[in-house]
Amino acid sequence: MELCFLGTSSGVPTKTRNVTAVALKESKGKGWFLIDCGEATQHQLLKTSLTVNNLQAILITHIHGDHCYGLPGLLASAAMNHRTEPLTIIAPKGIQDWFEATQKFTQLYLPYPIQFIDAESLPSVTIGQFTIDLTTLTHRVPSFAYRFTESTIKIYLDFAKLAEHNIPRGPIWGQLVKGEDVVFGDKVLKSRDFTYYAHAPRRIIIAGDNSEPEKLAEFSHNCHALVHEATYAKELAEQAKEYGHSYAELVARFAEKAQINNLLLTHFSPRYQTDPNADTSIEQLRREAAQVYRGQLFLAQDFTRYRMDTQGELEQIFEG
Amino acid sequence: MELCFLGTSSGVPTKTRNVTAVALKESKGKGWFLIDCGEATQHQLLKTSLTVNNLQAILITHIHGDHCYGLPGLLASAAMNHRTEPLTIIAPKGIQDWFEATQKFTQLYLPYPIQFIDAESLPSVTIGQFTIDLTTLTHRVPSFAYRFTESTIKIYLDFAKLAEHNIPRGPIWGQLVKGEDVVFGDKVLKSRDFTYYAHAPRRIIIAGDNSEPEKLAEFSHNCHALVHEATYAKELAEQAKEYGHSYAELVARFAEKAQINNLLLTHFSPRYQTDPNADTSIEQLRREAAQVYRGQLFLAQDFTRYRMDTQGELEQIFEG
């Protein structure tokens, strides 16, 4: 399971950071999910191994342009890349309205079906290897956090239990490991009594713009990693609140309290430069967050990738 | 006066070419015009010295996404860059409809006024240092070629004529050089009899997608340079026609017949690679065009720049 940041700037692109987009790769196969789709997300993809043909779904956190203006171009290019598979888009209703207006006024025809799911109405949905649900955040417009919970975890037979109950090797084992209950003599063998999950389901939350991290308190239960905006440093706390954003310390305090082991900050105001030696750099945000958060802290950059192992441990992938 | 190509690929971006956009810089000052605005045009601008605050007008040739999907992001970023000057957009009506829908559904507020001019209804307009008019082309949707004719050319006094008619040095000379006719004794001195233009007005045509270059026959009279798509080579002439595009030889034959001195080809199908050693490279298009065209032929790449001198001579600018 991998996270790849495709854009980590808020509002406008810079020379080193594009506007928001995050890719979440499934642990098996090539399937992936795109969360937000700022302008030029398709251009960023050209520099990765991700392809629109393996895209399972697109999720948009809110209607602001720096989170969605790349959508029409990416979908048009998927058409030119001969995608035929249906594509699910989970988004606020305004995104569907905007996309339909875009199709109409720019005569955009897609040869594959799009299924829009209105985020407001979503209890939960399973797509590919994840069950996805969401919660609402606080921003100038409705904004959502999407939670991805692994839904396809390998099941193993509990050989000790099988021996204890004298269940003979054979088709019964196969049925039990597939999750089926089996009639055996005068008993019903329950699959869950003779099997166990390889590991607990991994769970990642990717949040949209939000000035109140506390809103994720219940939702982040058993969550292995949180991707959250930290647009500003605390010195701009008032501006953050006015614009519906968070500052680094605010998010970090929440993650500490919620006992989230991995916190990935992103969506930095362009005022915070990538160069750590700049007068105003994102190192300021890192220091501020590190002072109150004892978990693993990551400040995302474009194209940084993180791999989560089956135990929910996250590490940055560096490639030669 | 300069041309700078910001995107030279048709349909989809590639690693080396973005979708369509061209910048035309005025000869004096920092003002410039943007013709077409494919997705990520604002990202391309970050790699140039052009800024949205000096943008005089945007002209869109037709409604297809690879020519306009960068518009909302560019205008939003201009707002964040504190642009306050009004901005003129000349475009097919669908672009205005789409942009207004985009503003509504993505809650995009611009702090500067936009004046849309429907291309269909434009006889001609003077903005900055150019008079702009247009003609219609042949494509799957209405497509336009914009013609930029220099409108602010320095006027000089004809000292020989002034001496011949004994016109004394003084305020009269100043009036004549400003273009004013002057009463002198019992005669009216006409400005145009005692002055001359520093040079003929430079004229550049930037055409949208088009399968019939011949449509530019009358319009290209006295034109110093033509920017035209050459999406395909002749081997794909049928496909070109079907999709409303031109192939290299077709455009070059037209430019030769119309005696246009400078032909700049762009909007290449991604099948033609930039690497001249690739199996299918844009060199194929160059050879094909050069066989029938004896003027100066240029195949645009992203960020190639061309300077036109006052005599209408064009040369590529190479910078160290």
Over the stretch B63-101, which tens digit does the pLDDT of each residue have? 999 999 999 999 999 999 999 999 999 999 999 999 999
- B126 with B179, same domain: the answer is no
Confidence of residue A265 (pLDDT cuts 50, 70, 90): very high
**Domain end position, chosen among B181, B196, B211:** B196
Contact (Cβ atoms closer than 8 angstroms) between residue A33 and residue A126: no
- A33 with A111, same domain: the answer is yes
Which of A227-231, A236-240, B151-155 has the lowest average pLDDT?
B151-155
| Structure confidence by residue, pLDDT tens digits, A115-135 | 999 999 999 999 999 999 999
| Structure confidence by residue, pLDDT tens digits, B27-39 | 999 999 999 999 9
Determine which of A19, A66, A69, A103 to mutate to test the interface with B (most B C-beta atoms within 10 Å): A69
Q: Which of B55, B101, B98 lies closest to B77 in space, CA to CA?
A: B55
* B267 known member of a binding site: yes
CATH of the domain at B62: 3.60.15.10
| Structure confidence by residue, pLDDT tens digits, B202-223 | 999 999 999 999 999 999 999 9
Contact (Cβ atoms closer than 8 angstroms) between residue B182 and residue B188: yes
Taking residues B186-210, report their average pLDDT: 95
**Domain end position, chosen among A173, A196, A219:** A196
Helix (H, G, I), strand (E, B) or coil at B40: coil
% of chain B surpassing 90 pLDDT = 95
CA A52, CA A178: separation in Å to the nearest integer? 32
**Is the model's pLDDT at A274 over the cut of 90?**
no
Taking residues B267-289, report their average pLDDT: 93
- CB-nearest partner of A12 from B13, B68, B80: B80
Q: What percent of chain A is helix, strand and coil (3-state, nearest 5)?
A: 25, 30, 45
- B121 with B166, same domain: the answer is no
- A93 with A181, same domain: the answer is no
ipTM confidence: 0.92
CA A117, CA A130: separation in Å to the nearest integer? 16
- A187 with A250, same domain: the answer is no
Amino acid at B184: F
Q: What domain range includes position A313?
A: 2-153+198-317
Q: How far is CA A244 from CA A143, A239, A283, B177, in A?
A: 10, 8, 22, 59
The per-residue pLDDT for B274 is 87
Q: What percent of chain B is helix, strand and coil (3-state, nearest 5)?
A: 25, 30, 45
| Structure confidence by residue, pLDDT tens digits, A81-100 | 999 999 999 999 999 999 99
% of chain A surpassing 90 pLDDT = 95
* A62 known member of a binding site: yes
Nearest residue in chain A measured CA to CA from B62 = A106
CA A208, CA A145: separation in Å to the nearest integer? 6
Helix (H, G, I), strand (E, B) or coil at A234: helix
Helix (H, G, I), strand (E, B) or coil at A5: strand
The per-residue pLDDT for A278 is 87
B40 touches chain A (CB under 8 A): yes
Alpha helices, DSSP H, located in chain B:
41-45, 71-80, 93-105, 159-164, 171-177, 191-194, 237-243, 248-257, 283-290
- B236 with B192, same domain: the answer is no
**Domain end position, chosen among A165, A196, A227:** A196
**Is the model's pLDDT at A270 over the cut of 70?**
yes
* B64 known member of a binding site: yes
Taking residues A136-153, report their average pLDDT: 96
| Structure confidence by residue, pLDDT tens digits, B80-90 | 999 999 999 99
- A205 with A182, same domain: the answer is no
* Structure token digits, residue B176: 């004549």
The per-residue pLDDT for A318 is 80
Mark whether B66 is an active-site residue. yes
**Is the model's pLDDT at B320 over the cut of 60?**
no
* Structure token digits, residue B5: 């190509």
**Is the model's pLDDT at A259 over the cut of 90?**
yes
Q: Give the minimum alpha-carbon distance from A72 to chain B in angstroms, rounded to a whole number.
A: 7
Q: Which of B59, B102, B108, B51 lies closest to B81 in space, CA to CA?
A: B51
Taking residues B271-277, report their average pLDDT: 90
Q: Is residue A243 classed exposed, middle or buried when 0-12, 13-18 and 19+ CB atoms within 10 A define those classes?
A: middle
The per-residue pLDDT for B196 is 93
- B124 with B266, same domain: the answer is yes
- A122 with A138, same domain: the answer is yes
**Is the model's pLDDT at A273 over the cut of 60?**
yes
CA A255, CA A246: separation in Å to the nearest integer? 13
The per-residue pLDDT for A320 is 53
- A287 with A163, same domain: the answer is no
Q: Which residues, 6 or more positions from B251, have their beta carbon under 8 angstroms from its beta carbon?
A: B213, B228, B229, B230, B263, B265, B289
- B68 with B83, same domain: the answer is yes
B12 touches chain A (CB under 8 A): yes
Q: How far is CA B119 from CA B85, B212, B246, in A?
A: 22, 19, 22
Q: How far is CA B270 from CA A33, B231, B232, B244, B255, in A?
A: 26, 9, 10, 17, 24
Number of independent structural domains in chain A: 2
**Is the model's pLDDT at B7 over the cut of 70?**
yes
| Structure confidence by residue, pLDDT tens digits, B104-149 | 999 999 999 999 999 999 999 999 999 999 999 999 999 999 999 9
- B309 with B212, same domain: the answer is yes
| Structure confidence by residue, pLDDT tens digits, A42-90 | 999 999 999 999 999 999 999 999 999 999 999 999 999 999 999 999 9
Residue contact B106–A94, C-beta within 8 A: yes
Q: What mean pLDDT, rounded, does chain B reach?
A: 96
Q: Is residue B37 classed exposed, middle or buried when 0-12, 13-18 and 19+ CB atoms within 10 A define those classes?
A: buried
